Amino acid sequence: MSRRLDGGEQGSGGAGLAGAGAGSGALLRLEELDVRHGLLQAVRNVSLEVAEGETLALVGANGAGKSTLLRAIAGAHRPAAGRIVFDGREITAMAAHRRVKTGIVLVPEGRRLFPNLTVEENLRVARASGRGGSWSLNEVFEAFPLIEPLRRKRAASLSGGEQQATAIGRALMTNPRLLLLDEVSLGLAPIAVEGVYRSLRRLIEGGTTIVLVEQDLARAMSVADRIACMLEGRIVLEGARGELTREQVTDAYFGLRRQEATA
């Protein structure tokens, strides 16, 4: 079931929401979340669920609030209102470093690697901050074969695609239960995007739960189980990949339906 939410008419909380995560089994549940940057309200009344094993693509124009929403889930911004529930436990006020231990990890826009450390050192450092689990250096190199030959190179000397692969690998070293990926393909050459997505597909097939922010709609729609489109801080369209057409998502992305409705 898909939902179109024009203007401010968003559903009220988890129960009754569309999507695979509806009901009690969601790994992540956002309830009527508001996030502000000072006076600016970047996220407005967002309710959303992500089921275990699901890939949700969050799309929307520049400034729609996608990064702010991811950062709030990761604990980098404290919401002004609403609740964040992870695996049945409220984490709205939990510190970011504790969320990593709980299994929530963000790969931020710009990747933020340690530039003077090697690829391998960047990966090893992450291990200490995460949960115990099965991801090891070898497994990361298997998932991202692109970076194995670069393991002794400094992060600063890598291309954009190599850095993105290292940043995702670093997140995996924390053994996440929920991987938040911001602007996966931004600034990458097409061939690098291809390489990163080839590895992402393998993670998705392996059952990793992912929330992915992606400017490239075609990419987002090719890997996600579900799409949520943000406009001016709100989720204005949400549905399973097969239920939404490219045109519906594009319209929501640019707010076209809203303009037609008010014309």
Site residues (vs ligand ATP, CB under 6 A): 37, 40, 42, 60, 62-68
The b-or-e profile of 6-15 (16+ CB within 10 A means b, else e) is: beeebbeebe
Q: Give residue 190's Cα distance to chain centre.
A: 20
Is 214 or 225 the residue whose CB approaches ligand ATP more closely? 214
Is 72 or 119 the residue whose CB approaches ligand ATP more closely? 72
Least distance (Å) from ligand ATP to the CB of residue 96? 15
Could you tell me whether strands 178-181 and 104-107 are parallel, antiparallel, or unpaired per DSSP bridges? Answer: parallel
Least distance (Å) from ligand ATP to the CB of residue 237? 15
- Listed in sequence order, the DSSP H helices in 150-216 are 160-172, 190-205
Least distance (Å) from ligand ATP to the CB of residue 91? 20
Is 28 or 123 the residue whose CB approaches ligand ATP more closely? 28
Element (H, E) at 37: strand 26-37
Least distance (Å) from ligand ATP to the CB of residue 69? 7
Is 65 or 195 the residue whose CB approaches ligand ATP more closely? 65
How far apart are alpha carbons 217 and 28 in whole angstroms?
23
